[in-house]
Chains A and B, each alone.
Chain A
Amino acid sequence: MRYLPLTDTDRKDMLATIGASSIDDLFVDVPEVARLDGPIRDLPMHASELAVERHMKARAAKNLAAGDAPFFLGAGAYRHHVPASVDHIIQRGEFLTAYTPYQPEIAQGTLQMLFEFQTQVARLYGCAVANASLYDGSTACWEAVAMATRVTKRSRAVLSGALHPHYAQVVKTMAHFTGDTIADAQPAITADPDLDGLTSRIDDETACVVVQYPDILGRVSDLSQVAEAAHAKGALLVVVNTEPVALGALKSPGEMGADIVVGEGQSIGVGLQFGGPYLGLFAVRDPKHVRQMPGRLCGETIDAEGKRGFVLTLSTREQHIRREKATSNICTNSGLCALAFSVHMTLLGEKGLRQLAAENHRLACVAADRLEKVPGVKLLNNAFFNEFTLMLEGKPARAIVRDLADRGVLGGVSLGRLYPGVEALEHALLVAVTETTTEEDIETLAREIEASVKEAA
C-alpha cells in the first residue's frame, strides 16, 4: 500500500517492543459485539493510482464544466479567472499540509499571511478589523446575527427580503434553536429594493437588520438610510456581500455605516468547486466590537529578541479556552481558501481590482443591453454590478434554464429554484456576467433565450 511505510518486519519488531503478540491485542478494549472478522464487506479492495484516477475521471467527465459552455450563473458563487500562480502557491506543502498555527514560532508563514488577509478584507469592506475567516458567507451571516444579539442584548433580527434565500434559511434554522426571532420577507420584484419597507420593520427590540449588497436580484442601493434607521433604534446594520469583486467598483459597506460586514470570498482566488470549500469573510467597523467576534484572529507582537511576529490572539473568545461560553463553536475555518484569496488579491492590488470590477460591470452592461432587446424579456434592475434579473415571458425560468443546459448553455439561475413554489418569482432569471464572459457568449445566450421563450409562446 503506497501510503503505508511500515513493513511486516517493522510491525513484528514493534509488537515485540510493545509486548503484544498480535495487532488484535491492541484492540482488546473494543467490545466483542463491535469486532469485525476482516475487511468490511461491500467495499472494494485497494487500487492503484492509475485505477483510482480513471474511476474519478469518469465521474468528472459526466459534468458540464463552466469553462466548456457559455456560462452565466451567479447567485452567490461567481466564476472568475484565477491566475495560475495562485494555485501554485496554495499547493506548496508548507501551506497545504500545515495545521492551525498553534506553535507560532514555526507557523509565521500562515500567521503573516492571515494578518495580511485580515488587513485586505478589512480594507475591502471599509472596516477596522476582519477575522481569519469562517466556513462560508452563509454561516458568516448567522454568526453576524448571533454577534449582534450579544452586542445589543436583543434577540430579534430583521432580514431584507433580498437576502440570498440560502443565507436566510441558515439564519432561520439556527434561530429556531437559539430562540431568536427572525423577521424575514420574500423579495419584491421591483426595479429598486424597497428600503423604506425594510426600515419600517426595525423596532426597539431589533438587534440587527441584515441587508445584502448587491442583493439577490443584483440590485444596488445606498444603505446609509438603513444604517441611520437601525442606529436610531439601537440596532446594528449587518451587510452581506456575496461578490467581493463588486467592492472594487462600489462604495464599501463600512462607508455606508454597516457595523458588521460579512460575505462570501469565493470569487477571489477560490473557484466554483460545486459550492465548497468557500471562504466566509467577517469584519467589524468599530474595533470596540472585536471581543464579541467569532473565529480566529491573528495579531502582531514581538518575539523574545524583539523581532516582529504574529500569533493567534484574543482566544479567550474561543471554544478551546471558553468551551460552552465561547462566542462560536467554530474551530477549523477556511485557512487555505483565505490564502488563495490573499494571493489573488495581492496579484490584483487596488489597481487590478478596480480594473477587474470595471470590466465585469462593462460586460454586464453589454449583456443587459443585448438581452433586454430579446422579445419577451424585460430587465428588472435600475442599477446592478455584474448580475441582474430578467423577467421572462412564457415558461417558468426554471424550465428555460434546463432547456438551455440541454443545448449546452449554462444560462443563469432561476429564482424558481431558489424560491420553490413562489409563483410571483418563477419567471425571473438571474444572469451573472464576469470577465470570463465573451461577447460571443452573450450573443449565444440572447439567441437561445429567444428560442426558448418563443417555443413556449
Chain B
Amino acid sequence: MNAPNKSGWKPSMQVADATGDSPTTTGNRALMLEEPLLFEIGHTEVTGVDLPEIDESASTRLGGLDRSEPIGLAGMTEPETVRHYTRLSRQNYGIDLGFFPLGSCTMKHNPRLNEKVARLPGFADIHPLAPQNSVQGALEVIHELGDWLKTLTGMPAVAMSPKAGAHGELCGILAIRAAHEARGDAREVVLVPESAHGTNPATAAVAGYRVEDIPATPEGRVDVAKIKERLGPDVAAVMITNPNTCGLFEKDFRTIADAVHEAGGYVYCDGANFNAIVGRVRPGDLGVDAMHINLHKTFSTPHGGGGPGSGPVVFSEALAPFAPLPFVRRDEDSGTFELVEEEAREESRGHTFGRMTAFHGQMGMFTRALTYMLSHGADGLKQVAEDAVLNANYILRSMDDILHAPFADSGPCMHEALFGDKDFGGDLSTLDLAKGLIDEGYHPMTVYFPLVVHGAMLVEPTETESKATMDQFIAAFRSLVERAKAGDETLKQAPYFAPRRRLDETAAARKPKLAFEG
C-alpha cells in the first residue's frame, strides 16, 4: 500500500502530440506541470511534521482499542507537500487570476485585509465554548455584524448561525413552519418559481413541505396572477429570489407579499442576489419575512473552491420569535454581550425552533464580512450595487445585438445579464461557447441555469471589474458568438489549452471511482 510510484507512470503520459507540439519526456509543458496523486508519490512512513517517536513500551488507556491495522495515509515532507499543492493550485481558475462572471455566484474580489483580520489570534484562536467573559470581543463582532445586516435590509431581527446559503434557507423555512405550528396551522405547501435555484425546492422538501412550481411570465418575472390564484389555506410560504435568477428585479414583490400575507402565508426571499441592491434597497420595505444573505457573495468572503459559506437570516417581527438558538444579546446596562444558548420559555423569544448547528456560526466569515462592510461603509456599499448593475447592463447592451437576450425588453437587468443559445448554428450549444471562453482565458458564466431559458448563459460581472476587463471580455464573447452562430465545429472540441480537455462525465458516473485504490 502506498508504495512510491514505481512504474513512473504519470497521468499525462498517454498524450502523444495533441496540439502538434513536440511531446516532452515528462508530459509537462513548461509552466504546466503534471502532478500525480498524493498516494502515488507519498508514503505512509514519511512525515512532514516533527513529533516525538512513539514509545511502544508505554501503556495506553484506550480500552484495548489500539489501532493496529495499517491506515493507508500517505505522507510527504514539507517541501514535497508545498510543491504538490502549488502544482495543483496552478490547474485552478480563481478570481485572483482573471474575470469570473459566474451568474448568481457574485465572484467579486476578496480583499486581503479580510484574511489578515480573520487570522488575528483573538478571533482565530478562541474556542466556541470559552467562558463568555473571555470572548466579549468575539460576541461583539457577531452582534455588530448582525446590526449591519439588520440595518442594510431594514429587518428587525437576525439569526447568525446558518452555515451557508442553503442552510440559511432552511433556517427561514423552519421559522415559518414553527410560526404556523404555533398557531395550530398545519400548512403543507411552499410555492417556488420555476426559475429558482435548486436549493429552494430542496430546502422546502427537507423541511417537510410539498413543493409546487410557479411559472415565469414571458418577461422573465414570477407570474403574480398564478401565485394569487394558488394562494390558500394550505400554502405556508412563497420563496422568491429578488433580484431573480433572470437578472430582473421583481417589481411586483410588494403586491405578492401583501397577497401572501393576506392568505396567511409568509414570504421567504432568497438573498443570493443581494449584491445588486445592497445599500440601495432594503428588502424589509418590500414585505419580506425572512431572507438569507450569502456573506460569501455580497460581502466578499472567499468561495474557497466550494465553501465555507455563511448564511445569516434576517427576520420580520412576525418571525423573529421563532429564530434559532443560540443568539447574541447585548445587555444595555452593562454593555456586555451574552450568548443565549438555552431556551427561556418565559421570554418573548421562547418559541425558537431550536438549534440547527453546533456552536454559533461561521465566525471566520463574520470577521471577514464585517471588515468588508466597514471598508465600504454605507456610501461604498451603495456604490457596489450601482457599479455591479452598471457593469451587467453594459455587458447586456454590448451583446444583445448579436446574442439572444430573452428578457432584454423587460427593462434594465440588475447585477447579471441572461442570454440563450437560440441562434447557434450546427449542433453547437452553450456548452461549446463556454468551453471556448476557457481557451480565451475566462472562467465561463453560469450555464444552463435558470431552466426557463434554453441554453441559458448567466453573466454576472460584479463591481470589482474594470471597464477595460469587460471590453476585452465582450470582444472575446462576441467573437465566440459569431463562431457559434456560424456553426464553427472546432468549438466542439474546446477547450484546447486548459490543463485538461473535455472530461468524460458519463464514464465517471457510470462506474464511480471515488477514492484512490492501491
Contacts of B370 in A (CB 8 A): 56
A130 at the binding interface (Cβ < 8 Å): yes
B505 at the binding interface (Cβ < 8 Å): yes
Contact B140 A43 (CB under 8 A): no
Contacts of A77 in B (CB 8 A): 127-129, 359
Contact A276 B434 (CB under 8 A): no
Contact A349 B88 (CB under 8 A): no
Contact of A89 among B86, B108, B361 (CB under 8 A): B86
CB distance from A385 to the nearest CB of B (A): 7
Contact of A302 among B121, B134, B163, B507 (CB under 8 A): B507
Contacts of A118 in B (CB 8 A): 514-515
Contact A178 B208 (CB under 8 A): yes
Q: A18-B397, A250-B65, A299-B509 in contact; A321/B198 too (CB < 8 A)?
A: yes
How far apart sit A3 and B64, CA to CA, in the bound complex (Å)?
Answer: 58
Contacts of A401 in B (CB 8 A): 131
Contact B129 A356 (CB under 8 A): no
0/1 interface trace, chain A 348-390, chain B, CB 8 Å (1 if under):
1111111110110110010010000000000001111100000
Contacts of A133 in B (CB 8 A): 307
How far apart sit A79 and B68, CA to CA, in the bound complex (Å)?
Answer: 26
Given contacts A346-B76, A347-B78, 6 further A-B contacts (CB under 8 A): A6-B387, A34-B254, A44-B374, A300-B508, A334-B306, A410-B131
Contact B129 A73 (CB under 8 A): yes
Contact A311 B498 (CB under 8 A): no
Contact of A349 among B46, B86, B165, B384 (CB under 8 A): B46
Contact A314 B509 (CB under 8 A): yes
A200 at the binding interface (Cβ < 8 Å): no
B169 at the binding interface (Cβ < 8 Å): yes
A100 at the binding interface (Cβ < 8 Å): yes
Contact B389 A27 (CB under 8 A): yes
CB distance from B199 to the nearest CB of A (A): 5
A-B contact pairs, 10 of them (CB 8 A): A59-B141, A93-B94, A94-B93, A100-B306, A274-B127, A299-B509, A300-B514, A335-B305, A349-B74, A383-B64
B424 at the binding interface (Cβ < 8 Å): no
Contact of A46 among B102, B286, B305, B377 (CB under 8 A): B377
Q: A4-B384, A136-B357 in contact; A105/B499 too (CB < 8 A)?
A: yes
0/1 interface trace, chain A 405-434, chain B, CB 8 Å (1 if under):
110001001000110110000000000000
Contact A135 B308 (CB under 8 A): yes
Contact B512 A324 (CB under 8 A): no
Q: A112-B37, A136-B358, A166-B359 in contact; A319/B137 too (CB < 8 A)?
A: no
How far apart sit A346 and B111, CA to CA, in the bound complex (Å)?
Answer: 29
B364 at the binding interface (Cβ < 8 Å): yes
Cβ < 8 Å to A, chain B residues 223-258? 248-249, 251, 253-254
Contacts of B66 in A (CB 8 A): 249-251
CB distance from B47 to the nearest CB of A (A): 3
B464 at the binding interface (Cβ < 8 Å): yes
A164 at the binding interface (Cβ < 8 Å): yes
Interface SS of chain B: helix, strand, loop or mixed? loop
Of B112-120, B260-268, B312-320, B475-483, which stretch is located at the interface? B112-120
How far apart sit A326 and B280, CA to CA, in the bound complex (Å)?
Answer: 35
Contacts of B259 in A (CB 8 A): none
B184 at the binding interface (Cβ < 8 Å): no
B430 at the binding interface (Cβ < 8 Å): no
0/1 interface trace, chain A 19-55, chain B, CB 8 Å (1 if under):
1100101111111011110111111111101011101
Contact A108 B91 (CB under 8 A): yes
Give the number of chain A interface residues (Cβ < 8 Å): 219
Contact A138 B358 (CB under 8 A): yes
How far apart sit A318 and B361, CA to CA, in the bound complex (Å)?
Answer: 24
Contacts of A104 in B (CB 8 A): 500, 503, 505
A116 at the binding interface (Cβ < 8 Å): yes
Contact of B356 among A173, A275, A324, A336 (CB under 8 A): A173
B275 at the binding interface (Cβ < 8 Å): no
Contacts of B75 in A (CB 8 A): 346-352
How far apart sit A21 and B384, CA to CA, in the bound complex (Å)?
Answer: 19
How far apart sit A43 and B174, CA to CA, in the bound complex (Å)?
Answer: 30
How far apart sit A11 and B470, CA to CA, in the bound complex (Å)?
Answer: 13
Of A201-209, A228-236, A337-345, which stretch is located at the interface? A337-345
B216 at the binding interface (Cβ < 8 Å): no
How far apart sit A42 and B125, CA to CA, in the bound complex (Å)?
Answer: 32
Cβ < 8 Å to A, chain B residues 274-323? 277, 279-282, 285-286, 296, 300, 302-310
CB distance from B371 to the nearest CB of A (A): 6
Contacts of B86 in A (CB 8 A): 89, 92
Contacts of A331 in B (CB 8 A): 164-166, 197-199
Contact A275 B361 (CB under 8 A): yes
Contact B148 A98 (CB under 8 A): no
Contact of B177 among A5, A92, A177, A349 (CB under 8 A): A177
A-B pairs with lowest CB-CB distance, top 9: A349-B75, A60-B122, A336-B304, A93-B96, A275-B359, A62-B137, A275-B128, A383-B63, A277-B308
Contact B342 A420 (CB under 8 A): yes
Contacts of A325 in B (CB 8 A): 205
0/1 interface trace, chain B 77-97, chain A, CB 8 Å (1 if under):
010011011101111111111
Q: A105-B495, A271-B124, A307-B500 in contact; A350/B73 too (CB < 8 A)?
A: yes
Contacts of B251 in A (CB 8 A): 29-31
B42 at the binding interface (Cβ < 8 Å): yes
Contact B254 A135 (CB under 8 A): no
How far apart sit A128 and B52, CA to CA, in the bound complex (Å)?
Answer: 31
Q: A10-B467, A274-B138 in contact; A435/B51 too (CB < 8 A)?
A: yes
Contact B47 A349 (CB under 8 A): yes
A330 at the binding interface (Cβ < 8 Å): yes
How far apart sit A75 and B397, CA to CA, in the bound complex (Å)?
Answer: 56
A119 at the binding interface (Cβ < 8 Å): yes
Contact A76 B358 (CB under 8 A): yes
Contact of A272 among B54, B126, B381 (CB under 8 A): B126
Kindly name the residue among A93, A97, A177, A310 whose own CB sees the greatest number of chain B CB atoms within 10 A.
A97
Contact B305 A273 (CB under 8 A): no
Contact of B362 among A88, A276, A418, A421 (CB under 8 A): A276
Closest to B121 in A: A65
B31 at the binding interface (Cβ < 8 Å): no
A132 at the binding interface (Cβ < 8 Å): yes
Contact A59 B177 (CB under 8 A): no
Contacts of A384 in B (CB 8 A): 61-62
Contact B307 A333 (CB under 8 A): yes
A199 at the binding interface (Cβ < 8 Å): no
Closest to B300 in A: A3
Closest to A403 in B: B131
Contact A166 B95 (CB under 8 A): no
B207 at the binding interface (Cβ < 8 Å): yes
A137 at the binding interface (Cβ < 8 Å): yes
Q: A5-B464, A355-B54 in contact; A319/B151 too (CB < 8 A)?
A: no
